Amino acid sequence: MADKPSLYEVENAFQPAKEVTAVERFAGRRTEVEDGYYGLLGDGVNIAIVGNRGVGKTSLSRQLEITASGDNGLLDHLEIGHDRPLDFLSVYFACGNRVTDFGDLLERLLTTSNCLGDWIYDIPGAKKEVVSYAPEIGAKLFGLEAKLGGEKATEQESRPAVNSHSIDTVFTNVCHAIVEERIAKDGLLIIVDEFDQINDPSGMAGFMKSLATNVPRAKFCLVGVAQDIQNLMKEHESVDRLFSGSIIRVHPMEPVELREIIRIAEAEIDSFITFDEEATDSLIALAQGHPYMVHLIGKYAFRAAYQRGVKIIDRSAVQETLKSIAERGADPVLEGRYKKAVGSSRQRESVLRALAQVRREDGECWTTDAYKIALEDEVDNASQFVGHLVADDYGSELEKVRERYYRFRDSLFATYVLARPRLYSPVG
Protein backbone atom coordinates (compact mmCIF):
# COMPACT_ATOMS: atom_id res chain seq x y z
CA MET A 1 0.00 0.00 0.00
CA ALA A 2 1.24 3.44 -0.91
CA ASP A 3 2.22 5.82 1.85
CA LYS A 4 -0.36 8.46 2.62
CA PRO A 5 0.51 11.63 0.69
CA SER A 6 0.44 15.04 2.29
CA LEU A 7 -2.48 17.37 1.69
CA TYR A 8 -0.09 19.59 -0.29
CA GLU A 9 0.72 16.73 -2.65
CA VAL A 10 -2.97 15.95 -3.13
CA GLU A 11 -3.82 19.58 -3.81
CA ASN A 12 -1.14 19.87 -6.48
CA ALA A 13 -1.59 16.56 -8.29
CA PHE A 14 -3.98 18.40 -10.61
CA GLN A 15 -3.17 22.05 -11.38
CA PRO A 16 -6.05 24.01 -12.95
CA ALA A 17 -4.67 27.33 -11.71
CA LYS A 18 -1.32 27.17 -13.50
CA GLU A 19 0.34 25.96 -16.63
CA VAL A 20 2.24 22.70 -16.72
CA THR A 21 5.95 23.50 -16.51
CA ALA A 22 7.40 20.15 -15.45
CA VAL A 23 8.30 18.04 -18.48
CA GLU A 24 7.30 14.80 -16.77
CA ARG A 25 3.79 16.13 -16.11
CA PHE A 26 3.08 17.30 -19.64
CA ALA A 27 0.64 15.07 -21.54
CA GLY A 28 0.17 14.50 -25.27
CA ARG A 29 0.55 17.19 -27.94
CA ARG A 30 3.26 15.40 -29.91
CA THR A 31 2.43 17.10 -33.24
CA GLU A 32 2.23 20.55 -31.66
CA VAL A 33 5.53 20.10 -29.81
CA GLU A 34 7.25 18.90 -32.99
CA ASP A 35 5.93 21.87 -34.99
CA GLY A 36 7.13 24.24 -32.28
CA TYR A 37 10.55 22.58 -32.18
CA TYR A 38 11.07 23.02 -35.91
CA GLY A 39 9.89 26.61 -35.58
CA LEU A 40 12.69 27.14 -33.07
CA LEU A 41 15.25 25.79 -35.53
CA GLY A 42 14.50 28.23 -38.36
CA ASP A 43 16.26 31.62 -38.47
CA GLY A 44 13.77 34.44 -38.85
CA VAL A 45 10.83 32.11 -38.15
CA ASN A 46 8.29 33.23 -35.58
CA ILE A 47 5.86 30.92 -33.81
CA ALA A 48 2.16 31.41 -33.09
CA ILE A 49 0.11 29.26 -30.72
CA VAL A 50 -3.62 29.81 -31.12
CA GLY A 51 -6.73 28.13 -29.79
CA ASN A 52 -9.60 28.46 -27.38
CA ARG A 53 -9.34 29.05 -23.66
CA GLY A 54 -8.54 26.02 -21.57
CA VAL A 55 -7.00 23.82 -24.28
CA GLY A 56 -3.43 24.09 -22.98
CA LYS A 57 -1.77 26.85 -25.04
CA THR A 58 0.22 28.32 -22.16
CA SER A 59 1.46 24.91 -21.02
CA LEU A 60 2.62 24.20 -24.57
CA SER A 61 4.45 27.55 -24.78
CA ARG A 62 6.17 26.84 -21.47
CA GLN A 63 7.35 23.48 -22.76
CA LEU A 64 8.76 25.16 -25.89
CA GLU A 65 10.55 27.61 -23.60
CA ILE A 66 12.11 24.68 -21.70
CA THR A 67 13.10 22.97 -24.95
CA ALA A 68 14.57 26.20 -26.33
CA SER A 69 16.70 26.51 -23.19
CA GLY A 70 18.38 23.16 -23.77
CA ASP A 71 16.20 20.53 -22.07
CA ASN A 72 15.39 17.74 -24.54
CA GLY A 73 13.42 15.70 -22.02
CA LEU A 74 10.07 16.29 -23.71
CA LEU A 75 11.48 15.61 -27.19
CA ASP A 76 12.88 12.31 -25.92
CA HIS A 77 9.62 11.40 -24.19
CA LEU A 78 7.63 12.06 -27.36
CA GLU A 79 10.28 10.43 -29.55
CA ILE A 80 10.91 13.56 -31.59
CA GLY A 81 14.28 13.40 -33.33
CA HIS A 82 16.92 16.02 -32.49
CA ASP A 83 20.67 16.34 -32.88
CA ARG A 84 21.63 18.68 -30.03
CA PRO A 85 20.20 20.74 -27.22
CA LEU A 86 19.08 24.20 -28.25
CA ASP A 87 20.59 27.25 -26.62
CA PHE A 88 18.21 30.21 -26.63
CA LEU A 89 17.91 33.07 -24.21
CA SER A 90 14.20 32.62 -23.51
CA VAL A 91 11.93 35.19 -21.88
CA TYR A 92 8.23 34.95 -21.08
CA PHE A 93 5.69 37.76 -20.69
CA ALA A 94 1.93 37.55 -20.09
CA CYS A 95 0.08 40.60 -21.36
CA GLY A 96 -3.14 40.56 -19.40
CA ASN A 97 -5.43 43.46 -20.32
CA ARG A 98 -3.08 46.25 -19.29
CA VAL A 99 -1.04 46.45 -22.51
CA THR A 100 -2.45 49.14 -24.79
CA ASP A 101 -0.61 48.63 -28.09
CA PHE A 102 2.44 46.96 -29.58
CA GLY A 103 4.68 49.91 -28.63
CA ASP A 104 3.57 49.53 -25.03
CA LEU A 105 4.33 45.80 -25.30
CA LEU A 106 7.89 46.46 -26.51
CA GLU A 107 8.51 48.93 -23.71
CA ARG A 108 7.23 46.48 -21.09
CA LEU A 109 9.45 43.74 -22.48
CA LEU A 110 12.42 46.09 -22.10
CA THR A 111 11.63 47.11 -18.53
CA THR A 112 9.95 44.09 -16.92
CA SER A 113 11.97 41.98 -14.51
CA ASN A 114 12.67 38.47 -15.81
CA CYS A 115 12.26 39.73 -19.36
CA LEU A 116 14.87 41.73 -21.27
CA GLY A 117 15.47 44.22 -18.46
CA ASP A 118 17.56 41.75 -16.47
CA TRP A 119 19.88 41.22 -19.44
CA ILE A 120 20.14 44.78 -20.68
CA TYR A 121 21.83 45.72 -17.41
CA ASP A 122 24.92 43.69 -18.28
CA ILE A 123 25.13 44.58 -21.97
CA PRO A 124 26.62 48.06 -22.47
CA GLY A 125 25.32 48.54 -26.00
CA ALA A 126 21.78 47.63 -25.08
CA LYS A 127 21.90 49.68 -21.87
CA LYS A 128 23.09 52.76 -23.74
CA GLU A 129 20.35 52.35 -26.35
CA VAL A 130 17.58 52.18 -23.75
CA VAL A 131 18.84 55.07 -21.65
CA SER A 132 19.29 57.31 -24.67
CA TYR A 133 15.75 56.49 -25.79
CA ALA A 134 14.19 57.61 -22.53
CA PRO A 135 15.90 58.39 -19.20
CA GLU A 136 12.73 57.33 -17.39
CA ILE A 137 13.04 53.81 -18.81
CA GLY A 138 16.68 53.78 -17.78
CA ALA A 139 15.61 54.72 -14.28
CA LYS A 140 13.13 51.82 -14.18
CA LEU A 141 15.83 49.40 -15.21
CA PHE A 142 18.91 50.62 -13.42
CA GLY A 143 17.67 52.62 -10.47
CA LEU A 144 19.12 55.84 -11.85
CA GLU A 145 17.81 59.32 -11.20
CA ALA A 146 16.04 60.45 -14.32
CA LYS A 147 12.94 62.38 -15.27
CA LEU A 148 11.17 63.02 -18.51
CA GLY A 149 11.92 66.27 -20.23
CA GLY A 150 15.61 66.16 -19.37
CA GLU A 151 15.21 67.78 -15.93
CA LYS A 152 17.51 65.08 -14.59
CA ALA A 153 19.52 62.82 -16.78
CA THR A 154 21.49 59.64 -16.43
CA GLU A 155 24.56 61.33 -17.88
CA GLN A 156 26.07 64.76 -17.53
CA GLU A 157 24.43 66.12 -20.65
CA SER A 158 20.70 66.69 -20.68
CA ARG A 159 18.66 64.36 -22.90
CA PRO A 160 15.10 64.65 -24.18
CA ALA A 161 12.50 62.13 -23.05
CA VAL A 162 12.56 60.42 -26.40
CA ASN A 163 15.24 60.76 -29.02
CA SER A 164 14.81 60.46 -32.74
CA HIS A 165 14.54 56.67 -32.60
CA SER A 166 11.14 55.06 -32.23
CA ILE A 167 10.50 52.31 -29.69
CA ASP A 168 10.53 49.62 -32.40
CA THR A 169 13.97 50.77 -33.57
CA VAL A 170 15.29 50.82 -30.02
CA PHE A 171 13.88 47.35 -29.38
CA THR A 172 15.48 46.03 -32.56
CA ASN A 173 18.83 47.52 -31.57
CA VAL A 174 18.57 46.00 -28.10
CA CYS A 175 17.79 42.57 -29.57
CA HIS A 176 20.75 42.93 -31.92
CA ALA A 177 23.06 43.82 -29.02
CA ILE A 178 21.87 40.82 -27.00
CA VAL A 179 22.29 38.43 -29.93
CA GLU A 180 25.72 39.83 -30.82
CA GLU A 181 26.84 39.32 -27.22
CA ARG A 182 26.39 35.56 -27.82
CA ILE A 183 24.78 34.99 -24.43
CA ALA A 184 22.99 32.10 -26.09
CA LYS A 185 24.33 30.74 -29.37
CA ASP A 186 20.90 30.07 -30.94
CA GLY A 187 19.60 33.55 -30.23
CA LEU A 188 16.65 35.13 -28.44
CA LEU A 189 13.14 33.73 -27.94
CA ILE A 190 10.43 36.09 -26.67
CA ILE A 191 7.19 34.38 -25.64
CA VAL A 192 4.21 36.73 -25.41
CA ASP A 193 1.24 35.02 -23.77
CA GLU A 194 -2.31 36.40 -23.84
CA PHE A 195 -1.44 38.41 -26.93
CA ASP A 196 -5.16 38.70 -27.66
CA GLN A 197 -5.49 40.96 -24.59
CA ILE A 198 -3.58 43.80 -26.27
CA ASN A 199 -6.09 46.54 -26.99
CA ASP A 200 -4.55 47.57 -30.32
CA PRO A 201 -1.92 45.21 -31.77
CA SER A 202 -1.80 46.94 -35.16
CA GLY A 203 1.73 47.48 -36.41
CA MET A 204 3.11 44.39 -34.71
CA ALA A 205 3.13 42.36 -37.92
CA GLY A 206 5.20 44.96 -39.74
CA PHE A 207 7.61 45.19 -36.84
CA MET A 208 8.07 41.40 -36.68
CA LYS A 209 8.76 41.29 -40.41
CA SER A 210 11.45 43.93 -39.99
CA LEU A 211 12.95 42.18 -36.95
CA ALA A 212 13.14 38.86 -38.81
CA THR A 213 15.20 40.60 -41.51
CA ASN A 214 17.45 42.65 -39.25
CA VAL A 215 17.91 40.22 -36.37
CA PRO A 216 17.03 36.74 -37.71
CA ARG A 217 18.16 35.05 -34.47
CA ALA A 218 15.55 36.96 -32.47
CA LYS A 219 12.08 35.48 -32.68
CA PHE A 220 8.66 35.83 -31.11
CA CYS A 221 6.25 33.17 -29.97
CA LEU A 222 2.77 34.71 -29.76
CA VAL A 223 0.14 32.88 -27.71
CA GLY A 224 -3.53 33.77 -27.56
CA VAL A 225 -7.20 32.93 -27.89
CA ALA A 226 -8.05 32.94 -31.59
CA GLN A 227 -9.08 30.66 -34.41
CA ASP A 228 -6.16 31.76 -36.57
CA ILE A 229 -3.20 34.12 -36.62
CA GLN A 230 -5.10 36.81 -38.54
CA ASN A 231 -7.67 37.09 -35.77
CA LEU A 232 -4.93 37.08 -33.17
CA MET A 233 -2.90 39.89 -34.72
CA LYS A 234 -5.85 41.67 -36.37
CA GLU A 235 -3.69 42.23 -39.44
CA HIS A 236 -4.27 40.31 -42.64
CA GLU A 237 -1.64 41.38 -45.12
CA SER A 238 1.07 38.71 -45.38
CA VAL A 239 0.71 37.77 -41.71
CA ASP A 240 0.96 34.06 -42.46
CA ARG A 241 4.40 34.56 -44.03
CA LEU A 242 5.79 35.76 -40.72
CA PHE A 243 5.37 32.28 -39.31
CA SER A 244 6.37 30.05 -42.24
CA GLY A 245 4.51 26.92 -41.19
CA SER A 246 4.92 27.55 -37.46
CA ILE A 247 1.29 28.44 -36.73
CA ILE A 248 0.30 25.90 -34.09
CA ARG A 249 -3.46 25.49 -33.74
CA VAL A 250 -4.15 23.86 -30.38
CA HIS A 251 -7.31 21.80 -30.63
CA PRO A 252 -9.21 19.97 -27.89
CA MET A 253 -7.26 16.99 -26.62
CA GLU A 254 -7.99 13.43 -27.61
CA PRO A 255 -9.46 11.12 -24.94
CA VAL A 256 -6.19 9.20 -24.70
CA GLU A 257 -4.34 12.44 -23.92
CA LEU A 258 -6.85 13.43 -21.23
CA ARG A 259 -6.53 9.94 -19.76
CA GLU A 260 -2.78 10.52 -19.56
CA ILE A 261 -3.36 13.70 -17.50
CA ILE A 262 -5.42 11.68 -15.02
CA ARG A 263 -2.82 8.92 -14.78
CA ILE A 264 0.01 11.43 -14.28
CA ALA A 265 -1.95 13.04 -11.42
CA GLU A 266 -2.57 9.66 -9.83
CA ALA A 267 1.14 8.86 -10.10
CA GLU A 268 1.99 12.13 -8.32
CA ILE A 269 0.44 10.66 -5.16
CA ASP A 270 1.64 7.11 -5.86
CA SER A 271 -1.91 6.02 -6.75
CA PHE A 272 -3.04 6.51 -3.14
CA ILE A 273 -6.29 7.78 -4.68
CA THR A 274 -7.41 6.70 -8.15
CA PHE A 275 -10.36 7.07 -10.51
CA ASP A 276 -12.09 3.87 -11.49
CA GLU A 277 -12.71 3.26 -15.18
CA GLU A 278 -16.27 4.59 -15.19
CA ALA A 279 -15.20 7.72 -13.33
CA THR A 280 -12.29 8.20 -15.72
CA ASP A 281 -14.56 7.85 -18.73
CA SER A 282 -17.07 10.23 -17.17
CA LEU A 283 -14.42 12.86 -16.47
CA ILE A 284 -13.06 12.60 -20.01
CA ALA A 285 -16.57 12.94 -21.47
CA LEU A 286 -17.32 15.97 -19.32
CA ALA A 287 -14.08 17.72 -20.29
CA GLN A 288 -14.80 17.55 -24.05
CA GLY A 289 -11.14 17.84 -24.89
CA HIS A 290 -10.32 20.67 -22.45
CA PRO A 291 -7.44 19.74 -20.13
CA TYR A 292 -8.45 22.60 -17.86
CA MET A 293 -11.71 20.83 -17.01
CA VAL A 294 -9.87 17.61 -16.21
CA HIS A 295 -7.58 19.52 -13.85
CA LEU A 296 -10.44 21.46 -12.26
CA ILE A 297 -12.73 18.49 -11.62
CA GLY A 298 -9.82 16.20 -10.76
CA LYS A 299 -8.46 18.60 -8.14
CA TYR A 300 -11.74 18.82 -6.22
CA ALA A 301 -12.45 15.10 -6.60
CA PHE A 302 -9.05 14.30 -5.07
CA ARG A 303 -9.63 16.76 -2.23
CA ALA A 304 -13.05 15.31 -1.37
CA ALA A 305 -11.75 11.73 -1.50
CA TYR A 306 -8.78 12.59 0.71
CA GLN A 307 -11.00 14.29 3.27
CA ARG A 308 -13.39 11.34 3.37
CA GLY A 309 -10.71 8.66 3.40
CA VAL A 310 -11.86 7.30 0.02
CA LYS A 311 -9.23 5.54 -2.11
CA ILE A 312 -11.23 4.98 -5.31
CA ILE A 313 -13.29 7.71 -6.97
CA ASP A 314 -16.39 6.44 -8.77
CA ARG A 315 -18.72 8.04 -11.28
CA SER A 316 -21.14 9.31 -8.63
CA ALA A 317 -18.27 11.07 -6.86
CA VAL A 318 -17.43 12.89 -10.10
CA GLN A 319 -21.02 14.13 -10.34
CA GLU A 320 -20.95 15.24 -6.71
CA THR A 321 -17.72 17.10 -7.41
CA LEU A 322 -19.31 18.97 -10.30
CA LYS A 323 -22.14 20.09 -8.07
CA SER A 324 -19.68 21.24 -5.44
CA ILE A 325 -17.63 23.16 -8.02
CA ALA A 326 -20.73 25.05 -9.14
CA GLU A 327 -21.99 25.75 -5.61
CA ARG A 328 -18.69 27.11 -4.35
CA GLY A 329 -17.86 28.97 -7.58
CA ALA A 330 -14.54 27.18 -7.92
CA ASP A 331 -14.13 28.91 -11.28
CA PRO A 332 -15.74 32.29 -10.58
CA VAL A 333 -15.31 33.47 -14.16
CA LEU A 334 -17.14 30.56 -15.80
CA GLU A 335 -19.73 30.40 -13.04
CA GLY A 336 -20.35 34.15 -13.25
CA ARG A 337 -20.83 33.92 -17.01
CA TYR A 338 -23.23 31.01 -16.60
CA LYS A 339 -25.39 32.86 -14.10
CA LYS A 340 -25.37 36.02 -16.22
CA ALA A 341 -26.48 34.07 -19.29
CA VAL A 342 -29.20 32.18 -17.43
CA GLY A 343 -30.37 34.96 -15.13
CA SER A 344 -33.68 34.10 -13.49
CA SER A 345 -35.05 32.19 -16.46
CA ARG A 346 -35.54 28.42 -16.45
CA GLN A 347 -36.39 28.63 -20.15
CA ARG A 348 -33.19 30.46 -21.07
CA GLU A 349 -31.16 27.88 -19.16
CA SER A 350 -32.92 25.11 -21.09
CA VAL A 351 -32.12 26.76 -24.42
CA LEU A 352 -28.51 27.45 -23.43
CA ARG A 353 -27.96 23.82 -22.45
CA ALA A 354 -29.78 22.54 -25.53
CA LEU A 355 -27.47 24.55 -27.77
CA ALA A 356 -24.41 23.18 -25.94
CA GLN A 357 -25.81 19.68 -26.33
CA VAL A 358 -26.17 19.91 -30.13
CA ARG A 359 -22.83 21.65 -30.64
CA ARG A 360 -20.92 19.96 -33.48
CA GLU A 361 -17.20 19.29 -33.83
CA ASP A 362 -16.81 22.49 -35.86
CA GLY A 363 -18.43 24.43 -33.01
CA GLU A 364 -21.67 25.27 -34.82
CA CYS A 365 -25.08 24.74 -33.25
CA TRP A 366 -28.12 24.12 -35.47
CA THR A 367 -31.09 25.74 -33.78
CA THR A 368 -33.59 23.28 -35.29
CA ASP A 369 -32.06 20.46 -33.24
CA ALA A 370 -31.71 22.63 -30.14
CA TYR A 371 -35.35 23.75 -30.33
CA LYS A 372 -36.50 20.12 -30.33
CA ILE A 373 -34.65 19.51 -27.06
CA ALA A 374 -35.94 22.75 -25.54
CA LEU A 375 -39.51 21.85 -26.54
CA GLU A 376 -39.23 18.69 -24.45
CA ASP A 377 -38.62 21.03 -21.52
CA GLU A 378 -41.78 22.97 -22.47
CA VAL A 379 -39.93 25.91 -24.03
CA ASP A 380 -42.00 26.72 -27.09
CA ASN A 381 -40.47 30.15 -27.85
CA ALA A 382 -36.80 29.11 -27.91
CA SER A 383 -35.83 31.60 -30.64
CA GLN A 384 -36.57 34.45 -28.23
CA PHE A 385 -34.02 33.13 -25.75
CA VAL A 386 -31.41 32.55 -28.46
CA GLY A 387 -31.77 36.26 -29.16
CA HIS A 388 -31.11 36.95 -25.48
CA LEU A 389 -27.93 34.85 -25.49
CA VAL A 390 -26.51 36.88 -28.38
CA ALA A 391 -27.13 40.15 -26.51
CA ASP A 392 -24.63 41.90 -24.24
CA ASP A 393 -27.13 41.96 -21.37
CA TYR A 394 -26.72 38.20 -21.06
CA GLY A 395 -23.00 38.03 -21.75
CA SER A 396 -23.14 37.67 -25.54
CA GLU A 397 -22.10 34.03 -25.22
CA LEU A 398 -23.44 33.17 -28.69
CA GLU A 399 -22.69 34.59 -32.10
CA LYS A 400 -24.72 34.06 -35.25
CA VAL A 401 -22.85 32.24 -38.01
CA ARG A 402 -25.64 32.22 -40.58
CA GLU A 403 -29.37 31.61 -40.68
CA ARG A 404 -30.31 29.02 -38.01
CA TYR A 405 -26.68 28.38 -37.08
CA TYR A 406 -24.93 29.82 -34.01
CA ARG A 407 -21.63 29.31 -32.27
CA PHE A 408 -20.46 29.64 -28.67
CA ARG A 409 -17.81 32.34 -28.51
CA ASP A 410 -15.84 30.22 -26.05
CA SER A 411 -15.70 26.42 -26.35
CA LEU A 412 -14.62 26.08 -22.71
CA PHE A 413 -17.79 27.87 -21.63
CA ALA A 414 -19.87 25.50 -23.77
CA THR A 415 -18.15 22.59 -22.03
CA TYR A 416 -18.89 24.13 -18.62
CA VAL A 417 -22.56 24.57 -19.58
CA LEU A 418 -22.87 20.86 -20.30
CA ALA A 419 -20.90 19.74 -17.24
CA ARG A 420 -22.47 22.03 -14.65
CA PRO A 421 -25.65 20.89 -12.88
CA ARG A 422 -28.74 22.91 -13.72
CA LEU A 423 -29.72 25.95 -11.69
CA TYR A 424 -33.41 25.30 -12.25
CA SER A 425 -35.17 21.98 -12.28
CA PRO A 426 -36.48 20.97 -15.71
CA VAL A 427 -40.19 20.47 -16.23
CA GLY A 428 -41.40 17.04 -15.24
**Structural domains in the chain, sorted by start:** 7-13+253-328 (1.10.8.60), 29-250 (3.40.50.300), 332-416 (1.10.10)
Return the pLDDT at 413. Answer: 93
Quick check: 31 and 247 in contact, CB under 8 A? no
Return the pLDDT at 138. Answer: 63
Return the pLDDT at 123. Answer: 78
Instruction: Express each pLDDT in 398-414 by its tens digit.
Output: 999 999 999 999 999 99
Residues of the chain with pLDDT under 50: 145-163
Return the pLDDT at 160. Answer: 39
Half-sphere exposure (CA, 13 Å, Cβ side) for 202? 1
Q: How many other C-beta atoms are found inside a 10 Å radius of the C-beta of residue 332?
A: 9
Half-sphere exposure (CA, 13 Å, Cβ side) for 298? 33
Instruction: Express each pLDDT in 60-118 by its tens digit.
Output: 999 999 999 999 999 999 999 999 999 999 999 998 778 888 888 998 888 887 888 77
Quick check: 367 and 390 in contact, CB under 8 A? no
User: Residue 25, SS3?
Assistant: helix
Return the pLDDT at 151. Answer: 41
Q: Please state, in angstroms and rounded to a whole number, the distance separating the CA atoms of residues 70 and 28.
A: 20
Q: How does strand 312-313 pair with strand 405-408?
A: unpaired
Q: Please state, in angstroms and rounded to a whole number, the distance separating the CA atoms of residues 47 and 45.
A: 7
